[in-house]
Structures are given as C-alpha cells and as structure tokens.
Structure 1
Amino acid sequence: MDYIFIPILFLGIVILISSIFIVKQQTAAIIERFGKFHSIRQSGLKFKIPLVDKIAGKLSLKIQQLDVIVETKTLDDVFVRLKVSVQYRVLNQKVYDAFYKLDYPHEQITSYVFDVVRAEVPKMKLDDVFVKKDDIALAVKAELNDAMLEYGFDIIKTLVTDIDPDAQVKAAMNRINAAEREKTAAQYEGDAQRILIVEKAKAEAESKRLQGQGIADQRREIARGLEESVEVLNRVGINSQEASALIVVTQHYDTLQSIGEETNSNLILLPNSPQAGSDMLNNMVASFTASNQIGEAMKNAKKKKDDENDA
C-alpha cells in the first residue's frame, strides 16, 4: 500500500502546484481553456484547472516607452534623423483587444510614427523642424491615438527627443552660427569704440573749455592785481606810465628767479642781464611818454579843427 500511496501523493502535489500561479502588480494574465479564451486574471494569487486551463500570455499595464528613429528629408533638401519617443500603456478594460487583435504592437506603433513624420517633416525647412518639433509630436500622438485605441492601447505622450541633421549640414550650421556671433561681436566692439571716441572727444572739449575759463580767470586776476599796483604807485608820486614799466620789469625778474629755482629747466628768458632790464625799463618809459605826446597832439589837432568848423 505504501508503494501505491507515495506516487499518488506526489501526483497530487504536482497537480496542486500546477493549478496555482501568481500575477504580479500592474500585470494582466490571459487564461485559455482548451485553446479558447476563458478569462483575464489581475494581480494576486490565482488558480486554474491543470491540463485544462493555460496561461496564454501576460500583458504589462505599466506605462512603456518606445523610441523610434526616423530618417527623412526636409523642404530644403536636408536629410535629418528624428528620434521620437512614444509613451503608451494597455488599457485595463481592453486587455483582450490588446492581446488578441494585435500581435506586434511595437511594429504597429513604429509604422505610424514613420508615416506621420515622413508626411510632416518634408513640409518644413530644417530650422522650422527645430522650432516646430512639438507640432510634429502632437501630430504623431493624434494619429497614434486614433489608430491604437481600437487595439486597446492608450498613447500617453509623444516627444521628439532628438533632431540630428547630416554631419556636413551640422558643420555648415556651426560655421554660420560662428560667423553670426563674430559679426555681432564686431558690431558690439565697434559701438564700444565709437562710444569711447565720442566720450573722449567730449572730455577733451570740456577740458579745453575749463582750461580756457581758467586762463581767462587768471588773466582777469592779473589785470586786477596790476590795476591795484598802479594805484598804489600813483599814491607815492609815480605816474601811470612809469608804474606800468616798473611792474613789467618786476615781473621780468620774478620770472628769472623762478626759472633759477628749477634745477632741470631748459627755459631762458631773453633779455636776462641787469643792463638789459634797465634798458627795457627806459625804453618802456620812453614809449609810454611818446605815446602820451602823440595822443595829446592828436587831441589838440582835433580840438583846433572843431573850433574852426564852429567859427
């Protein structure tokens, strides 16, 4: 009896084990009975009839991503490779359609992506492809939603994640961009130089104006000082001509003294001898005297003429 019981017990254990199966979270198992669809089992510990029921397959209910690389040509005859990422999932209520109506969903999705991209991109120039990549992604999503919903697939999102033109085109674009940046940099540098020149000219003009104003103020103060000096000398009996000559000679010797105080000065004031200073003073006094005499003579002649006219 023991020999018969052991095989029966072993067979029972095998049948029990084969009747139990586990479905993972976010997964659906399709059960067929004698080759025909029987039921869909969700996550958890499940049972089936051994040798009668069969797990035909399992479908993930998670969001999945499929990357499709499409090579096509733009409106300006540039070959470009686009990488389109499609995020999709199987609808929980349409597991039957997803399993039985479509054998190869990846190939189906890829075909639609190729069809839409090769229909949209040839209408655009290369620059527009970069700018309007979101429009391309939306067009792909709209086409896939209409086509794949029937098979139980929901298209969550489509993204154009990479746009890769031909290598020669990229090199040309880089050269164009570099040239544009150099042009812009040159323009900015030119503007900066122009601003510096204008500001420098303004500064020089202001400096000249202030310098001229300073010289005018200096001369005004010198004139005021000379006037005061003449008034002081007049009080002690020295007339205006002699006072002016004396002031000039005094300034002459003051200048010589200041030149002598400078160790590295190359300036020489001529004439610079004492006799020359005396001669200069005498000449200036004589000049002032002669000038006064000429002025008096002209004044008398004019007065005489006026008297004759009145007579």
Structure 2
Amino acid sequence: MNPFELLSQFSSVIYIFFGIFILSILGLFFIVKQQTAVVVERFGKFQSVRNAGFQLKIPIVDRIAGKISLKVQQLDVVVETKTKDDVFVKMKVSVQYMVIKDKVYEAFYKLDNPYAQITSYVFDVVRAEVPKLRLDDVFEKKDDIAIAVNREVQEAMNTYGYDIIKTLVTDIDPDEQVKHAMNRINASEREKVAAQYEGDAQRILIVEKAKAEAESKRLQGQGIADQRREIARGLEESVNVLNKVGINSQEASALIVVTQHYDTLQSIGSLNKSNLILLPNSPHAAGDMLNNMITSFAAANQIGEEMKKNKE
C-alpha cells in the first residue's frame, strides 16, 4: 500500500469522526443513563419517552424536554400538630416513592412539583389523625398513622404517575416542657414502685425476724422447762435414796441444799477472775443454813399438825 492510499484512509477516518462530532453538536443522538427516563418533544409537543441506552432524535425538530429519575426517592416531611390532650408535637414522616415506568408522561406533565404535592397530603392526613389521639396513644399508634398517610397519598399520587413504596413515622417530638414533665412522671412512678418493693421487703424481714424470735423464745422456754423437770427428777431420786438410809424428806431437802451450796462455792472458787461475792460467807454459813432449814421444816410440820387437829 502506497503512501497516498494510507493518507486517503486516514482522511476518511478523520471525516467520519468529524461528522459524528458535528451530528452530536446538532443533537442527532444522545445517551440515557440507567434508571432514567427522557421525555422528547417535537415542535413543543410530546413525542416519546426514551429509556436507558443510545437514542436518536431529529436535530432542530426534536428536543429533550426533561429527565425523570426512576429510582426510589425519599421525602422527609415535618408536621407540627396538636394532640387530643392539647399537647403540641412535631412529627417527622418519611415518604418513599418512585415514578411508575409506564406513567412517565403523567409524572412529567400532570404534576409540576411532586414534593409540594406529597407534603400537602401528608400535612392533611397527620393533622386529621393526630388530634383524635392522646399523646401516649400517638406513640403507641404511630404505625396506624403511617398506614393512613400511605393510603391517602397512594390514592392521590397514583393518578400523577407516582407509586408510594412506604410511609414511616420516624420521629415524634413533643414540646420540651412536656418531655420534662413526662420524664418526671416516669421517674416518680419508678420511685413509687421501688418504695413499694422496699416496703414489702422490710415487712417480710420484720415478720421473719418476729417468727424467728418467737421460735427462739419457744425453744428457750421448752429448754428451761426440760431443765427444771430434770432437776426436779434428780432431786426426787436423791430424796428417795436418802429416805432409804433413814433420813426423812425434810432432812434430805436440807442436805441437798447444803450440798448445792458447797458445789456453788467450789465452782466460784475455780474461776480465776471472778468478782462474785456470796453472802453470808462465813465458815459456819453452811451449818447455820442447815440448822435454820431443819428448824423451819420442824416448825412447818408442827403448824401443819395443829391445823389438822383444829379441823377435826
């Protein structure tokens, strides 16, 4: 291939690129992005809707009137309204919507400002529903409010080529003073419940303590009774033994008392640091005690005999 042929081919390629450049400048073709629709008008009148890809139009005759996104979009609307119990609240309603692919014409030509239209319907529904509810019910039934908004907006916007995907009540913000009052009420309720639990716990402790003390006293009394019973049984056995050797009951009782006296003195003397003083504390104390007791028993027997004689 000679140089003239190479030059001729190179010139042809240049002409082709130059022609494409001129045609693009004149608007013969254009490219539509994914999830986008382009409205083409011819002499100011709707001609067609072009979807994603490489598209052609007649220069000067056709023009691109506008582009519409087919993606899901979200509009956040903040509505201030009043509840049934006269509390002002601000509600944030998020509306997720998209243009219906088969209704691009309606979305482009029938509605000039879809955001303002959706906002108006949201305001209308929220201000119709919230005043029927008390503040606490607004928090509990926010899903019902969202459903009502979604239903109303869906019916209205579907005519204009818009599909409402979902409506959410994302925030409920009462007046600042109301929030402080609600927090104080909740705190008071929790303190009340805590006080009730503490009172119940204290009452249970007192009852259980009283039961424990009563049981302790009962067992203590039973122990003392058992102890005295055993002491009495032991004294009875001791008196019986002494009676068998010729010692009568009065003398036996006196002897037992004197024996316990000596036992007491012995136990006191075995303690190293005892400050107890037993009175009387003379060497003849035990003997005197024994004589006094025998004399008392004898006098008691004599009085008893005389009383029997007087009765007879």
Answer whether contact 2:250 2:297 (CA < 8 A) is retained. yes
CA distance in 2, matches of 1:212, 1:126: 65
Question: In 2 relative to 1, CA 175–264 (structure 1 residues): closer, same or farther, beyond 3 Å?
Answer: farther
**Aligned partner letter, 1:93:** D
Q: Secondary structure at the match of 1:271?
A: coil
Whether 1:143 aligns to 2:178 is no
**Aligned partner letter, 1:19:** F
Whether 1:78 aligns to 2:78 is no
Alignment of 1:268-279 (within 5 A): 268-279=277-288
Task: Give the Å deviation of 1:150.
Answer: 0.9
Task: Give the Å deviation of 1:48.
Answer: 1.4
CA distance in 1, matches of 2:102, 2:170: 31
CA distance in 1, matches of 2:220, 2:172: 66
Task: Give the Å deviation of 1:144.
Answer: 0.8
Partner of 2:54: 46
Partner of 1:153: 162
Partner of 1:308: none
Task: Give the Å deviation of 1:215.
Answer: 0.8
CA distance in 2, matches of 1:266, 1:54: 125
Q: Secondary structure at the match of 1:274?
A: coil
Alignment of 1:162-181 (within 5 A): 162-181=171-190
Which of 15, 18, 23 lines up with 1:10 in the alignment?
18
Task: Give the Å deviation of 1:128.
Answer: 2.3
Partner of 1:64: 73
Which blocks of at least 5 consecutive residues in structure 2 are unaligned? 1-6
Whether 1:19 aligns to 2:26 is no
Task: Give the Å deviation of 1:245.
Answer: 1.6
Partner of 1:215: 224
Task: Give the Å deviation of 1:42.
Answer: 3.5
Between 45-54 and 224-233, the greater mean CA deviation after superposition: 45-54
Question: In 2 relative to 1, CA 154–256 (structure 1 residues): closer, same or farther, beyond 3 Å?
Answer: farther
Alignment of 1:237-252 (within 5 A): 237-252=246-261
Task: Give the Å deviation of 1:141.
Answer: 1.4
Task: Give the Å deviation of 1:9.
Answer: 4.4
**1:259-293 superposed Cα distances (whole Å, 9 cap, x missing partner):** 33444544444334432222112222222333334
Partner of 1:93: 102
Question: In 2 relative to 1, CA 23–267 (structure 1 residues): closer, same or farther, beyond 3 Å?
Answer: same
Which blocks of at least 5 consecutive residues in structure 1 are unaligned? 306-311
Instruction: State the superposition RMSD in angstroms.
Output: 2.8
**Aligned partner letter, 2:251:** E
**1:22-61 superposed Cα distances (whole Å, 9 cap, x missing partner):** 421x333333344333333334x22212524444333333
CA distance in 2, matches of 1:144, 1:40: 26
Answer whether contact 2:32 2:51 (CA < 8 A) is retained. no
Question: In 2 relative to 1, CA 149–237 (structure 1 residues): closer, same or farther, beyond 3 Å?
Answer: same
CA distance in 1, matches of 2:268, 2:94: 90
Q: Secondary structure at the match of 2:284?
A: helix
Answer whether contact 2:32 2:50 (CA < 8 A) is retained. no
Alignment of 1:285-296 (within 5 A): 285-296=294-305
**1:161-217 superposed Cα distances (whole Å, 9 cap, x missing partner):** 111111122222222222222222222222222222222111111111111111111
**1:209-268 superposed Cα distances (whole Å, 9 cap, x missing partner):** 111111111111111222222223233332222222222222223223333344454444
TM-score where L is the length of structure 2: 0.84
TM-score where L is the length of structure 1: 0.85
Whether 1:191 aligns to 2:216 is no
Q: How many residues align?
A: 301
